Structure 1
């Protein structure tokens, strides 16, 4: 499609010259910025907020994130992020995620961060997924005429230019600079048991029953409506042999035991409550996908369950920065986690290495803990939509599961994925996706209840 009709009409009526930059269709604005080949420092973006008085657009540098408290000081309004659904209703002529930062063309009041007026030339979303818009300094000022301006973004994250670190270098620096948590002893014993082809249900049950809390959690899991077991379950061994099976019990027990290595808050979009909810949903969908793709269902479940451990490690090592990341996530629902992590961890000799993203950090931890290679790869590469390589199927299954979960507002990413392309790469159809949506809907209440029990 051409640039958004309302935007084009506004610019034409105001006599504001602009340059349209055709691009290949992109899944989201972050992808369009990356594919453009231009420096991110040339781009500006819009963040949308709302309160009882209506919506507000905040225009700011692409590599920055707004501070809601600063917006409140400037406007006197207590605003919340606009949901993707609300945004779609306001910008009917725009592709999802490609909101042009020219609020006047949609009769929306605008706040502009002071830095934006320092651009000699700005590139921005045009409303279309296959075109960008470029305005010179004069055109930008005219397009934003009448907006309130002030300091509304977080300062202090001036990343500058630096060479990219390899994952090997990151792993080496992490181990030198920080005391990484070892795998908890019980988790290690469960992991070793899963690699023993001669291990019995009794041995697994005996391990779990050393821990009363885990025993109760496994029993609740087996008794949930997810499995509709008609009889009474009196022991972990019965849960293994009659209901859940060896692999499922071992994997959920491994997850429960491993999480105990970390101390992070329960609340917030990145807190432990949401971590468990996201992980259980992703594990469920990954296992369902594996059955359709001819891959190992137990291994797929484990990939989904453990793929986000990098967030736990970041929260464990850097609690104050994790709090900031948590707040940024809630304030910037359309931003990618990679951009938010870059904002928080992109400066400072030590923290710079964490800007590789929580996925890579989690993959490094899983490798140090000697988890199966597909689990390492799924964690390390789930933030990379164009990944091709070793254990690709497991990475794709986790990515597709996460994409489907975004539709339910579950997870730490809300910028849309190209679900048809991900499905096609796994040999699946749109009908398969609809079936998966139905399956997760049927068990959502039970997964939510299980997540609450695991995080408590």
Structure 2
């Protein structure tokens, strides 16, 4: 994608020199900075705020966070971050998260942190997801002509000076600072029973039948037209022996029981209703992929079913932020979850803790709950395209399943994935993907009905 047209026109009319730096396409500015090979200290970024008097573009070094109180002190205004929808209206020729810090070309007033203008060279976003601009001090002065200046960033260590937390440190801090939900007792018993090769169908059925609600859900599942069983199903044991099989019943029971650990709203793209729908579709596709890839079908199903638990944990621990995340998601489904999560959790005490994304948070929870290693890895790495490592086949299956489901507007984000690359990595061809799409189409009504049933 080229430089944003309005920015390019402004720079040309004002004779402002710059150098283009090509980068690999990315889902967010942070990803470009990380992958550019340049020192992050060279970058500046734009934070767009708004109040009843209109928008304000605050320019600061990439490795700093603006302090709202300092902004208020400088401007006399109480400003809030723009929503994704507002940003799209103000900067219509820019990719989300790649807004240039040159506000004049969008008729947006600019406030620069006082550490920016004196820098010898800076690198910045230009509206495109695969191009950066570099300017020297003289060009920067012309680009920011007429803008206000003041000290608006927080004191203390910058992001570059602060050592990034490892996942182990994130896990330790999560457990120390917040009360993570333990695996519900019934889910724990189901998990234990599935790992015991000596357990019988009868013992599994009896365990589930201790819970009337779960019993009804499992029987409804078995009666679903997904399986086209011609006879009557009146008990969990019949559901296991005649229709579903031991593993499928155990895994759906584990999912039902585990979800009771979380208090999350039902409505919205990230609510519990859509969560169940997304999880069931993903589990179905992963199971079908496992057949083609020679992997364990039951384990693949469980990976798909449980891969997004990190979102539920965020919703459980941080309900206000989750509501904001849900609203942003509804406003613009095409923006990646990585970008939205950074927007919501991009400052304050939780910045480092939640910068790892909901996938890694879910992987941490699954490890705490002692779920199988492929399930932990699929949850933890499903937000990381190009992952290669332990249990990568299961991670790739979840990623490909999510990519295919985006075509049906199912999931928590609808930005496109490189389906061809994922298919090649799994040893699949285009006709395999077409067959999967047909299979999903055939069972979509049944999966939708099942999702409604299980979420009620």
TM-score, structure 2 length as denominator?
0.77
Q: 1:417 to 1:29 in 2, by over 3 A?
A: farther
Larger displacement relative to structure 2 (6-15 or 283-292): 6-15
2:14 aligned with 1:22: no
- Are 1:81 and 2:62 an aligned pair? no
Deviation at 1:383, TM superposition (A): 2.0
Following the alignment from structure 2 to structure 1, what is the Cα–Cα distance between the partners of residues 156 and 291? Answer: 44
The count of corresponding residues between Structure 1 and Structure 2 is: 431
Please list the CA deviations of residues 7-59 of structure 1 after superposition, one character each: whole Å capped at 9, or x if unmatched: 65665456443321122455665533321134288354799xxxxxxxx9999
What SS does the corresponding residue of 2:355 show, helix, strand or coil?
helix
| 8 Å Cα contact 2:221-2:450 kept in structure 1 | yes
How much has 1:297 moved relative to structure 2?
0.9
The structure-2 alpha-carbon separation of the partners of 1:112 and 1:251, relative to structure 1 and needing over 3 Å to count, comes to farther
Q: Which runs of 5+ in 2 are unaligned?
A: 49-54, 69-76, 149-153
Partner of 2:73: none
Distance change in 2, residues 1:18/1:442 (3 Å): farther
Question: In the alignment, which residue of structure 2 is the partner of 1:262?
Answer: 262
CA distance in 1, matches of 2:215, 2:135: 62
Q: Identify the residue that residue 52 of structure 1 maps to in structure 2.
A: none
Q: How far off its partner does 1:156 sit? A: 12
SS of residue paired to 1:81? helix
Change (3 A) 1:60 1:274: farther
Partner of 2:426: 426
- 1:430-449 aligned at under 5 Å gives the runs 430-449=430-449
Q: How does 1:319-358 map to 2 (within 5 A)?
A: 319-331=319-331, 333=333, 334-337=335-338, 340-341=341-342, 343-344=344-345, 346-348=347-349, 352-358=352-358
Alpha-carbon distance, 1:326 to partner: 2.9
Contact 1:102 1:143 in 2 (8 A): no
- Which stretches in structure 1 are left out of the alignment for 5+ residues? 48-55, 68-72, 150-154
Following the alignment from structure 2 to structure 1, what is the Cα–Cα distance between the partners of residues 145 and 270? 37
SS for the counterpart of 2:371 is coil
Corresponding residue of 2:216: 216
**Does the 8 A contact of 2:27 with 2:336 survive in 1?**
no
Could you tell me how far 1:368 is from its partner in structure 2? 1.8
Moved more, 31-40 or 444-453: 31-40
Change in CA separation of 1:112 and 1:324 when aligned onto 2, cut-off 3 Å: farther
CA drift of 1:168 comes to 2.1
Q: Distance in 2 between matches of 1:419 and 1:157?
A: 43
**Conserved? CA contact 1:337–1:412, under 8 Å:** no
For the aligned residues, what is the CA RMSD?
A: 4.4
CA distance in 1, matches of 2:252, 2:295: 19
Q: Separation in 1 of the partners of 2:83 and 2:353? A: 33
- TM-score, normalising length from structure 1? 0.77
Cα distance between partner residues in 2 of 1:111 and 1:301: 49
Q: Using CA pairs under 8 Å that are at least 6 residues apart, name the structure with larger relative contact order, 1 or 2.
A: 1
Match of 1:234 in 2: 234
